[in-house]
Amino acid sequence: MKFLSTAPHVPQDPSSRTWRSEILFAFMCALLCTLSPQSSWAQSSNYPQHPIKLVVPFPPGGATDVIGRIVAQELSKSLSQQVLVENKSGDSGNLGAELVAKSTADGYTLLLGALTSHSINANLEKAALRYDLEKDFSPVAVVGIVPLVFVVNPSLPVKNMKEFIAYAKANPGKLTFASSGAGAPQRLAMEMFRFQQGLDMLHIPYKGSGPAMTDLVGGQVLCMSETVPAAISFIQTGKLRALAVSTSKRISQLPDIPTVTEATGMANFDVVSMFGVLAPAGTPKAIVTQLNDALKIILQRADVQERMLTAGVYTNYMTPADSAKRIHSEMTMWSKVIKDSNINLNEN
């Protein structure tokens, strides 16, 4: 105290001591906040420090799994840290989605989501789901799409979409269409088309694309909207006739097949199966941005695009903001289709 009391530049009145104490307290608070390991800056500035889990909510071998493994492999290189795929299938993808939604929002548990299917589930199974697709996730990036194609059995006397519409209108209730399930994107794409054209058609649901395609080729059902990867070999061998693709533009795998808009004049018909990476809501923005930046570079590479296309997937990068908008758009679109067509999951 003697040093403080005799220093010529230190005032002696109590107010000056209070002032110095406040400055010291403010400095210490600032230092502690900067060094705190709990701050979002500290959490994300050196991310990732250990392996990341990428949950695929479907069994191995499907489109979601193929995309997930390509994304995981390439992110592992970009981030210099292992990204491990974990298949958590069940309940139409809801089991894996719920697991990620309820995980710690630290960037170490991510979802490779089938976003179109999740959007449909969010409408069809709203009361049963234990997560909210828009509120419980932070979109990282849409990474790819799988186009659909409208196909018919060659026995059906139609060569194009206009003839198909005319035939359906001339035979109300007689034209059967298959789907891989009551709430499958393939089914809803046909329902959207059918409703907008005012067609009376009979839906025949199957448990998966395989059985549906078998009966379509065999003539037990007459038409279907199906993913291009599942249908293309039958189209190429003449076992099925392709009428139109569901995308806004023609696709490289079926360059001679028109879009629905080209074939019918219907405006803005654009239906695909969409896939993307989601993180739990509340994941630090810096981590989401880092992951998105890495995916943007990855999806621009020719070798990645080629590997994706081999599985029937077209790379389709989106920013986090655009991904969130697209998910909201999907939710809105499928809500209307489900309501218009009176779709439920209890159909036989």
Q: Tell which of 218, 233, 264 closes a domain.
A: 264
Does a structural domain hold residue 32?
no
Does residue 129 sit in the same domain as residue 157? no
Domain count across the chain: 2
Q: Tell which of 264, 292, 327 closes a domain.
A: 264
Does residue 62 sit in the same domain as residue 112? yes
> Alpha helix locations (H) across 145-221?
161-170, 185-197, 209-218
CATH number where 259 lies: 3.40.190.10
Does a structural domain hold residue 13?
no
The predicted pLDDT at position 16 comes to 47
Does a structural domain hold residue 330?
yes
The predicted pLDDT at position 182 comes to 82
Does residue 160 sit in the same domain as residue 139? no
Q: Comparing C-alpha atoms, which of 291, 265, 268 is closest to residue 278?
A: 291
Does residue 168 sit in the same domain as residue 313? no
- Sorted by sequence, the CB contacts under 8 Å of residue 90 that are 6+ apart come out as 57, 96
The predicted pLDDT at position 116 comes to 96
Does a structural domain hold residue 121?
yes
Does a structural domain hold residue 206?
yes
Does a structural domain hold residue 347?
no
Handedness of CA 62, 66, 67, 69 (dihedral sign): positive
The predicted pLDDT at position 347 comes to 62
Q: What six digits make up the tokens of 83?
A: 């990204």
Q: Phi, psi at residue 19, to the nearest 5°?
A: -60, -45
Q: CA of 232: how far to CAs of 18, 269, 306, 348, in Å?
A: 80, 21, 17, 28
Does residue 174 sit in the same domain as residue 244? yes
Q: What is the pTM of this model?
A: 0.85
The predicted pLDDT at position 195 comes to 95
- Sorted by sequence, the CB contacts under 8 Å of residue 204 that are 6+ apart come out as 176, 177, 178, 179, 212, 215, 221
Does residue 252 sit in the same domain as residue 284? no
Does residue 281 sit in the same domain as residue 134? yes
Does residue 258 sit in the same domain as residue 312? no
CATH number where 139 lies: 3.40.190.150
Evaluate whether 265 touches 162 at the Cβ level (below 8 Å).
Answer: no
Does residue 93 sit in the same domain as residue 67? yes
Separation of CA 318 from chain center: 11
Taking the CA atoms of residue 250, residue 256, residue 260 and residue 263 in that order, the dihedral angle to the nearest 10 degrees is 130
Does residue 117 sit in the same domain as residue 255? no
Place of tokens 């999951």: 345
Q: Tell which of 240, 264, 288 closes a domain.
A: 264
The predicted pLDDT at position 126 comes to 87
Q: Phi, psi at residue 223, to the nearest 5°?
A: -155, 170
Does a structural domain hold residue 7?
no
Does residue 317 sit in the same domain as residue 209? no
Q: What six digits make up the tokens of 122?
A: 């969010």
Q: What six digits make up the tokens of 99?
A: 């697991």
Q: CA of 257: how far to CAs of 52, 213, 241, 251, in Å?
A: 41, 19, 10, 8
Q: CA of 26: how far to CAs of 12, 14, 18, 21, 188, in Å?
A: 21, 19, 12, 9, 60
pLDDT tens, the chain, 348 aa long: 333 333 444 444 544 444 455 544 444 444 444 444 444 444 456 999 999 999 999 999 889 999 999 999 999 999 999 999 999 999 989 999 999 999 999 999 999 999 999 999 999 998 889 999 999 999 999 999 999 999 999 999 999 999 999 999 999 999 999 998 888 999 999 999 999 999 999 999 998 889 999 999 999 999 999 999 999 999 999 999 999 999 999 999 999 999 999 999 999 899 999 999 999 999 999 999 999 999 999 999 999 999 999 999 999 999 999 999 999 999 999 999 999 999 887 764
User: Which residues partner with 141 through β-bridges?
Assistant: 277
Q: Comparing C-alpha atoms, which of 44, 199, 188, 192 is closest to residue 122?
A: 188
Cα–Cα distance, 121 to 181 (Å, whole number): 12
The predicted pLDDT at position 130 comes to 95
Does residue 203 sit in the same domain as residue 140? no
Does a structural domain hold residue 134?
yes
Cα–Cα distance, 6 to 128 (Å, whole number): 75
Q: CA of 324: how far to CAs of 181, 227, 260, 313, 319, in Å?
A: 26, 24, 26, 20, 9
The predicted pLDDT at position 55 comes to 98
The predicted pLDDT at position 44 comes to 57
What residues make up the domain containing 122? 50-145+273-341
- Hey, which bits of 228-306 come out as E strands? 241-245, 272-280
